[in-house]
Amino acid sequence: MLLGRHAECRRVEQLLGEARAGRSGALVVRGEAGVGKTALLEHLHTRALELDFRIETSTGIEAETQFAYAGLHQVCAPLLDQLPTLPEPQQLALGVALGRRAGSAPDRFLVGLAALGLVSEAAESNGLLCLVDDAQWLDPASAEVLAFVARRIGADRVAMVFGVRDGEPGATVFTGLPELPLRRLRDTDARLLLDSVVPVPLDKDVRERIIAETRGHPLALVELPTHTPPARLAGGFQQPDLSDLSGRVQSEYRNRSHGLPEESQRLLLLAAADPTGDPTLLQRAARHSGIAADSAAPAEAAGLFEIGSRVRFRHPLVRSAVYTAAGPVDRRRAHAALAAVTDPESEPDRRAWHAAQATPGVDERVAGELERSAARARARGGYAAAGAFLLRATQLTPDPAARAARALEAARAVHESGASDTALDLLATAEAGPLDGFQRARLTLLRAQISFHLSRDQTVPEMLLHASRDMAEFDPDLAHETHLHALDAALVIGGPTAQVVAETALADPSLAHVGRPVDRLLGALSATLIRGFAEGVPLLRDALRSVCDADPSDARAPGYRSWLWLAARAAVGILDDDLAYRLAEANVRSARADGALSGLASALNFHANILALGGELTRAGEMAGRSIAISASTGGMPMRHAETIVSAWRGDADTVTRLRELTLRDRGNPADGAEVALAAYATAVLANALGEYEKAQRAATITCACVALSLSSVGLAELIEAATRAGDPHSAAGALEELSTRAHACQTSWARGLEARSRALTLSGPPAEVQYRAAIEHLEASRLTGEAARAHLLYGEWLRRQGRRQEARKELGRAHDLLSRIGADAFAARAAKELRATGEHPRRRTTPSTGELTAQELQVARQVATGATSREVGAQLFLSPRTIEAHLRSIYRKLGIRSRRELRDFPLS
C-alpha cells in the first residue's frame, strides 16, 4: 500500500471488490495539486490488473478543454467494438460526438446513454475500471457525459474513479458523487517518505525543517529534497514557507528543465504544447523545428517525461511548468511547428487552434478557420468548444464589424455552455463594435436571457420587450417569440410588469395577421391578463388547443415545442385538466424527441405537478424523482416544485418546510414571484390538511396574489377553505367571487367542482348540501381524484355537524378510502378523526403488495409490464439494461412472481 494511505487504498480497493460482485460505484478523489491523487489512481490501476479487470483511462489536459468530447474519446474509443449492440439513435449520437459520423448536433442525453451502454457491455465479462485523472480539465462535454454515466451505473460491474484538483471550476460537474478527500501526510509518514527518497543520511534538524516546510505534501517531499543541492540540504532550508507548495514544486520542475540542453528544452515545450501525447506528431514537429532526434534523452534522464506509445509527463505540474516558463515567442514558435505538421484534413480543429496560438496579433485567415472549427464543434454538440474557438477568433479579427459579430456569436455559445459571466464580457466587446439593428436586438435579447438566468433581474421583461421591438422589422416571428419570453419572465418574476408586456402585445397590429400557435398563445395570454378572465379564456383555450395539436412539420409550427410547458401552465390557469394533461404529456414527449436532458428534467417536473394536482401522488413522486435524478446526472440544480407539492398532499410537513425555506432564502426569487407563490400554495395545502387554517389562509393569500394564472386559480379554493374555517367570511367571500367568475368562464368540471365546493363552505342548510353534491359530481367527472376526495371529506364533516351521523359515516368513509389510496395521509388522518367522532372506526389501510418496492423498482415494474424490453426501459429510466435486470430480480422476489408474463398480470397500484 502507499505510505500513509492505508485507509484510502482500502476504500478504492473496496470499490473494485463491489464492482466485481456486481455493485457498480463511482468515486471522486479530491485534493490539492501534488497531494497524491495520481499515485492513488496508479495503485488502483495495479490492483485492477491483478484482478483481471478491463481498464480504460482518460486524463484531462488544460489545453484540451476546447475540443468537445476529447476526454470521452479517450475512454470510449477502445470500447467501440460494442457499438453495434446499442440502439441506432445512440450509435448515431455517439458517432457524431466522436467525429466518426455526420449528423446534427447530438444531445448529451443520447451521448450519455450510448456511453453508459458501451461501459455496461464492456464490463460484462471481467468488470471494467474507468480511471479519469485531472478530471477538472476535461472538456465540458466529456465531463458532463462521464458524470452522467457515473451516476447511472448500477449492477454493471463497473468502477469509475475521478481524480479532481481542489479549487478548479471544472470540477463542479462531479458534485454529489461519493468523495474521497486526500489530505497531506502525517509527520510520521512524512518522515518515512522523506527517508525513502533521499539517498544520503539527513541531519535531524534538516529533516525536521523539511518536514515543517512541506507540511506532509507528498510531491514536495519527493521532489524538493531530491533535487536540492547538498549544500542547501546541509544548511537546511531558509525559514519554513508554508504557502503555495504546488507552485514551489512547479518552480522546481521549471528549474530542472532549465538545466537541460537548449534543444531538449525546445522538445519539452513542443510536448507541453501538444495535448494529444502523440509521439509521431511530436517527432514530426521536432524535425520541422530542426531538433535532433536524441534531444529527448536528457529530459527523460531528468525524470521530466518519457516517450513510449504515448508522450507522458512525470506529473501534470511538469507540463504546466514547462509551458508557463517559456516566453511568448517560444510558445508561439512551438504552436507554429505543431500547426505545420498537423493534418488539415483529419485534424482541422487542432491545426486551427495551434495556428491561433502561434499568431501574435490579428489574422483574418486564422480567425476564419477558428470560426469554421466553432461551427463543427457546435454541430457535434460542443457549445463550450464553440465558444472557445469563437472567443479566440474574436481576438484575432482585424475588422471591427466582423469582430463585433463574432463576439456576439461567441457570447451566445459561451452562455449555452453555462459560462454566463464570460458571455457578458463578450457582449461588452460586441457592443463596442459597429452592429446593425438586428444584431443589436439580438444582443439585447441575449443580455436579458443571461440576466434572467443569473439573478431573475426585475428589468429582464423590459429588456426582452425592447429587444422584441427592435427585432420586429428584421424577423417578426423571432420578435413575437421574444415578446412571449418577456411575458413569461414577467409572470415568473411577478409585479406589475406583466400588465405592461401584455398591453404592448395587444397593441401590436402584426399579431392580428398571424396564426402560429406561439403567436396565438401570446395574444390570448395578453388578452386574459388585460381584458379579464371571462374575455380571455375562450381565446386562451383555442390557443392552447392549437399548441397541443400543432404538427412539427408545419412551417408555421416551428418553435412551438419551446412553449409547451408555458401552454401547460396556462391550461392549469383556466382549470382545464384535460388540456393540462395533454400538454404536459406532449411536453415530455417533445423533450424526449429532442434529447434535451435539461428540458426533459423540466418537463417531467411539470408533468409531476399535474399528476399531483390530480391526486396521482405515487406516479407524481416517481416522475419528480426521475426529474431530480436527471438534473443530478448532468450536474444541474434539481427542480423541487413537484416534490414540494407531492409532499404537501402527502402531509410531509418537514419536507415542505425545508423546501419552502430554500425558496425563501434564494435571493433570485422575488417576494411576489411564482417560486414563492408555489411554495406558499404547498404550505396552504399542507396547513389545510392539518387543520392549521390561519396559517393556510396566510399562505393561500400569497398564492392568490400571484400574477401567474396557474397559481392564483388553484390557490383560490385553498384560500376559501382556510378563511371560512379560520372565521374570516369577508376574505372567503372576496375569493369566492373571483373563483366564481373564473369557473363561469372556464366551464370545466374542475372549475365548476372547485366553485361548488367552495361555495358550499360559505352556506348553511339545504343550499350548502346542494353545492356539496354538485361539487362531488363535477370533480368525479374530472381527473382530479384528490380534489373529489376532499369534497367528500368536507361534505362528511358538514353532515356530522348537522347531526346526520349515518350519512356522514358514508361520506367520510369514502373520503378516507380515497385519500388513503392516493397517499394523502394528512387529509386521510383528518377524515379518520371525523369518522371516529361519528362512532365509526376507519378501516385499517392494507399495505398493497407493491408497497415493498422502491420507487425505482416500481417504475421498472410498470415499464416492463407494458411489454418493454430491458434496453427500452433502460433508455426511459437512464439506466443500463443490466441494472434493469437486477431490479427485475428484486421485483420478482418481493412480489412472489417469476416472470415478465406474471408481472404483466400483477395489479401495480
List pLDDT tens digits, range 535-577. Answer: 999 999 999 998 888 765 554 555 556 788 889 999 999 999 9
pLDDT of residue 638 exceeding 70: no
d(CA 680, CA 705): 11
Amino acid at 733: A
Give percent of the chain above pLDDT 70.
91
The chain-wide mean pLDDT, for the chain, equals 86
pLDDT of residue 888 exceeding 50: yes
pLDDT: which is higher, 883 or 243 = 883
Predicted local distance difference test score (pLDDT) of residue 235: 43
Q: Are 772 and 798 in contact (CB under 8 A)?
A: yes
pLDDT: which is higher, 416 or 824 = 824
pLDDT of residue 849 exceeding 60: no
Helix (H) or strand (E) holding 159: strand 158-165
pLDDT digits (tens, 9 = 90+) for 697-731: 999 999 999 999 999 999 999 999 999 999 999 99
d(CA 337, CA 354): 9
pLDDT digits (tens, 9 = 90+) for 449-470: 888 777 677 888 998 998 898 8
pTM, rounded to two decimals: 0.71
Predicted local distance difference test score (pLDDT) of residue 209: 67
pLDDT of residue 848 exceeding 50: no
Arithmetic mean of pLDDT, 627-633: 70
pLDDT of residue 684 exceeding 70: yes
pLDDT of residue 398 exceeding 90: yes
Cβ density class 339-378: b for 16+ within 10 Å, e for less: bebbeeeebebbbbbbbbbbbeeebeebbbbbbebbebbb
d(CA 791, CA 757): 6
Arithmetic mean of pLDDT, 607-625: 86
Lowest mean pLDDT among 146-150, 584-588, 592-596, 677-681: 592-596
Predicted local distance difference test score (pLDDT) of residue 88: 83
pLDDT of residue 847 exceeding 80: no
How many Cβ atoms from other residues are within 10 Å of residue 311's Cβ? Answer: 22
Lowest mean pLDDT among 120-129, 335-344, 354-363: 120-129
pLDDT: which is higher, 695 or 184 = 695
> Could you tell me how many residues make up the chain?
909
The grid cell for 481 is: 417569440
668 confidence band (pLDDT: 50, 70, 90): confident
315 confidence band (pLDDT: 50, 70, 90): confident
Cβ density class 707-724: b for 16+ within 10 Å, e for less: bbbbbbbbbbbbbbbbbb
pLDDT of residue 515 exceeding 90: no
The helix, strand and coil proportions of the chain, stated in percent and rounded to the nearest 5, come to 70, 5, 25
pLDDT digits (tens, 9 = 90+) for 348-364: 988 999 999 999 999 99
